[in-house]
Amino acid sequence: MPKYFFSQVCPERCMSDACGEELEDRREATARARELALELASQQLEQGRGPMGWVEVEDENHRPLFMLPLRAVAS
């Protein structure tokens, strides 16, 4: 199974994913990125801030695949 890396970039922190996760395909990687983005956005909203930042997804060779803005998952 391919490995995907999920870095979290927010104004107050940047957390690089050093371990990665083995997932079936890019569809599962997208779903995992949405879960992480929703968690971060929820934390920020609970603190009275609008969702700012994104989750960056890389493939097993650390090539960027896509970025998911937190505001895209916040409602």
pLDDT tens digits, one per residue of 26-63: 999 999 999 999 999 999 999 898 889 999 999 999 99
| pLDDT score at 11 | 78
Residue 75 has pLDDT above 70, yes or no: no
Cα(30)–Cα(25) distance, rounded to whole angstroms?
Answer: 9
Within 10 angstroms of residue 46's Cβ, the number of other Cβ atoms is 8
Using a cut of 0.85, tell me whether the model's pTM lies above it: yes
- Lowest mean pLDDT: which of 21-25, 42-46, 67-71? 42-46
Task: Quote the pLDDT of residue 32.
Answer: 98
CB 21 within 8 A of CB 59: no
